[in-house]
Structures are given as structure tokens and as C-alpha cells.
Amino acid sequence: MRRIALLSALFVMSLCLSFVLFHAGAPLPRAAAQVAPSLVGVADTSVPATLKPAEIPAATPPLGTTMYVAHRGDTISTVAHHFISQTSYLTSTELMEAIRKANGDLRGNSLKVGQSVVVPGMLAGPITEKSIPVSRDFETRAVYLTGLMAGSDHGLRIIRRWRELGGNAVVFDVKDSDGSINIPFDNPMAGAHHITIRDLPKFTQFLHSQGMHAIARVAIFRDERLVVAHPELAVKSKRTGQPWRENGKLVWTDPSQPKVQDYDIALAMKAAEAGADEIQFDYVRFPAEGDQKDASFYFQTQHPAWQRSDVIADFLKHAYGQLHPTGVLLSLDVFGIMAWQRPVDLAHTGQDIVRMAKYCDVLSPMIYPSHFFGMDGIAHPGDAPEHFIGESMARFEKITQGSGIVIRPWLQAFAWRTKTYSPKYIETQVLTARNEGGIGFLLWNANNDYSKPYAAMPEMRASKGKYMRGDELPAAASAQPQVAVGK
């Protein structure tokens, strides 16, 4: 009888221990699994009443963690990939590193069947982040990141390095000029899309914890992805009645089509609600190349007296009316050539700078010296940054005088069409733009290679007041990092 009683007691204790371990960490879904497991956001420290305090397993995970028991085929990387969305970490690689450290510096990637693994950084619920309001004349010192880069470990290293050197902002793609959307966006017109920034509130919270101004870039009307999926939203060919092509490429939605406008504004609002401090519109214009005489637009039948500039101004009026009350800034990227106000440029693009300035906070002319070929009789404009930066800024300041708008230029951080690209090249552009009334600067490199700006920043930072004022986010000094990355 004693043996039977002992076996019964051991059986009960085994059941209790299994119950605790089940609630401490659920299994990952495997190919053979039919039902997805339930996951906990923080450690479940409750135990059955049948267990006495002395019998509580010592492996109960601390708050902010969960315990996972490995199954056949599980690895540290699969565990990290599954739990990443429930943790404060931004990338699976960083979560993998944290898992290794939390489990006694685990080596390798494989896990044994039945092995208990502590997963740190668990969140009690989804992160919510609010924008940090700044005035329109906040001195932004930013680099640009693609959506793919922003959501990667390399992108996080760029952000931290830029911050260390004196940067205070990042421009990142929410939607790029091919129409790819990089954040979750539940919109019927968006359809299924590849998400590279899986949790935008988590990403903006990380930027804020680093003292960085978060600028969400939205490429507006050049959208190959949307126009291929919805050809009825494309610019139409007068000759064929089919979607119009710019030099053979189907890439332009109709800027005057209300459904297109509403789609882009909804995406911008989504970014604002996720903690972005500024929404930046790029490609807020009509196509400037291709057979212009063959292109027909929605507005030409609905508003026959309108010009392209009327369409752009009307769109911005509606967009600014929705975005401004949220507290975010709205900035607009415009062609640098628009400072010359040539009638042909205005007729094609619709970018009437004076009218656009009424419905935004910041204008960001793209005044890359190398792009001014054929201008002002200079054979190699890329090697004349002082002339083209200075002339462009002076012209933009003049035509926006009295509007209260801030001119914050895009500057060249790439070596195309210039033999003089160097850290000094960066310094010259920043200094020239500032001397001509610019407030802050944005650096563009499509490959996100900022080695030359990195080398230029120490000199510019040391010469306090010459190249920059040194503005910082209002909350940057007291903000405590809420995202457990890079620990």
C-alpha cells in the first residue's frame, strides 16, 4: 500500500509540474501542429493550489520573460522569429543574442527536445507611441534609410552611429517610389505586401529613445505597385485609352484621382498614429517625362478649368487639413529646378512652390549639385556645390518670403557626376545651405552609405554655431529607452 501511495503521489506531482511548465511557455507552431499555441506576454507565475511553496519549481521565469520548452527541430533562431512580435526587440538577431545571454550564454543554434529556454523582453501588450511635437523650424540633421534598411540590424547600427556623431533625425520609407509599402497597412487597395518595418510604433519608440526625430517618407503619386494592381487608377493614354506609360514604364497613378489621394493620405495618417513626428511627401507631382501630349487625367473632365498646379494645391490642402491636427509636421520634397520657376517645369510637374507652401510646414528642395546639368553654363555642376546650393537656396528663400515656411534641403551624399565627393564636399553643402537661410539638412544616399558624412560630422559638430545650432528633441534629455535593443 505504501508503494502504491508513493507512486500516486509522484504521479500527482508530475501532473502539477507539467501544468506549471505548460503555462510558463507554449510550444512553437510546427509543421505537424494543427492548433496554434497560446502565448503569454509576461511570465505566468501562478501555481496550482495543490502545490506547497516548497514544491514550486525553481525554473519559474521572472517578470518580463516567458519560458519555452523546445520541441523537435526547434532552434534559437526559430524561437526568436516566433516571439519577436511579442518582445521589445526590433530584430530577430537582437532577440537571439538576448536569448543566448538570458540562458547562460548558449552556444550554437540548435536546441534539445525538452530543453527549457527563457525568452526575455516580453511585452504585456502592444507598444503604442505618440509623436513628439517640435516647431517647424526645428533644426533637423537627418540621413535617409530605405524601408528594408530601417528594419534591419545594419539600419539600427546606422541610426546609432549617426546619433553618436551629432545627428538627430532619420528619414525612413513608409512607401517608396515603386509603391512598395513597408509597414502593416490594412487597406483594400494595398493588398498583401512585404513588410520590412513590422512594428512601426516599436520602431518610432526606439528612435525617440535615441533622441531622434522620426520622419516617415511617403512617395505619393509615382506608384507602380498600385497602378499595376489597379490600372483604372493610372494616367490614361489619349491615343489608346489604356494606361499611359512614361518612357515605356507603367509607373504613374493619376494624381487627380480621388481614390489615389485618399489612399496616400490614409497611409500617412497610419504613420502619424504610430508615432512618426513628421510625414514627408515625395513625388507629390505629375509625371515630368514621357509623351505629355498623350497623357489625360481625371481632373480634365471633372474640373476642366484646372491646371496641374491646381490639383497639387487642392490635394495638399486636404492632406494638411487631416495631418496637421494630429500634431505632426508635413514636409514636401520638390525638384531643385523649381526654384528657377521655369514655365515648362511648372506646366509638367504642377509644383507651384508659392501655393504649396501654404499647405505644409517644411519644403525640402532636392538640390543635389550633380543634378543641375546644363544649368548656368557650368559643364560639371557636381563639382560646383557652392554655386548650385547657394543659388537654389537663395531662390527658394525669395519665392517663399513671408510664408513662414522652413527651407530644409536635401543634400548630395553620393559620388555621382562629381570627382570631388568627400567629407569636405558634405561640409561645403551644409555650410552654404545654412548661410543662405536653410534650417537643418537631409542627406540622401540610395545605398545608405554614409561614410563621408560620418567623417564630416566631427568637424561640423566641433565648430559650434558655424554649421549647425545643435537642436535636440524636447524629451531627449530625460527620455528613458523603452525598447530593449542593443543590450
The set of cell numbers assigned to 456 is 564630416
pLDDT in tens, the chain (487 residues): 444 444 444 443 443 333 333 333 333 333 323 222 223 333 333 333 333 333 333 345 567 999 999 999 999 999 999 999 999 999 999 999 999 999 999 999 999 999 999 999 999 999 999 999 999 999 999 999 999 999 999 999 999 999 999 999 999 999 999 999 999 999 999 999 999 999 999 999 999 999 999 999 999 999 999 999 999 999 999 999 999 999 999 999 999 999 999 999 999 999 999 999 999 999 999 999 999 999 999 999 999 999 999 999 999 999 999 999 999 999 999 999 999 999 999 999 999 999 999 999 999 999 999 999 989 999 999 999 999 999 999 999 999 999 999 999 999 999 999 999 999 999 999 999 999 999 999 999 999 999 999 999 999 999 989 999 999 999 754 344 444 443 3
Give pLDDT, residue 44: 37
Grid cell 523582453 in the structure block, residue = 121
User: Whole-angstrom Cα distance, residue 93 to residue 104?
Assistant: 17
Q: Encode 327-350: b = buried (16+ Cβ within 10 Å), e = exposed.
A: ebbbbbbbbbbbbeeeeebbebbb
The set of cell numbers assigned to 316 is 495638399
User: Whole-angstrom Cα distance, residue 443 to residue 410?
Assistant: 6
The set of cell numbers assigned to 160 is 546609432
State how far the alpha carbon of 114 is from the alpha carbons of 18, 27, 181, 262, in Å: 12, 10, 40, 52
Q: What is the CB neighbour count within 10 angstroms for residue 56?
A: 15
User: Whole-angstrom Cα distance, residue 446 to residue 426?
Assistant: 16
Evaluate whether 385 touches 344 at the Cβ level (below 8 Å).
Answer: no
State how far the alpha carbon of 231 is from the alpha carbons of 234, 298, 301, in Å: 5, 13, 18
Nearest to 41 by CA among 29, 57, 26, 51: 26
Evaluate whether 483 touches 160 at the Cβ level (below 8 Å).
Answer: no
Give pLDDT, residue 61: 59
Evaluate whether 439 touches 137 at the Cβ level (below 8 Å).
Answer: yes
The DSSP line for 291-327 is: -GGGEE-THHHHSTT--HHHHHHHHHHHHHHHHGGGT
What are the E-state strand segments in 195-328?
213-219, 236-237, 278-282, 295-296
Domain 141-462 superfamily per CATH: Glycosidases (3.20.20.80)
pTM: 0.86
Give pLDDT, residue 60: 52
Domain ranges of the chain: 15-119, 141-462
Give pLDDT, residue 464: 84
Give pLDDT, residue 156: 98
The DSSP line for 375-423 is: STT-S-GGG-HHHHHHHHHHHHHHHTTTS--EE--EEE-S-TT-S--SH
Q: What is the DSSP letter of 90?
A: S
Nearest to 409 by CA among 365, 346, 360: 365
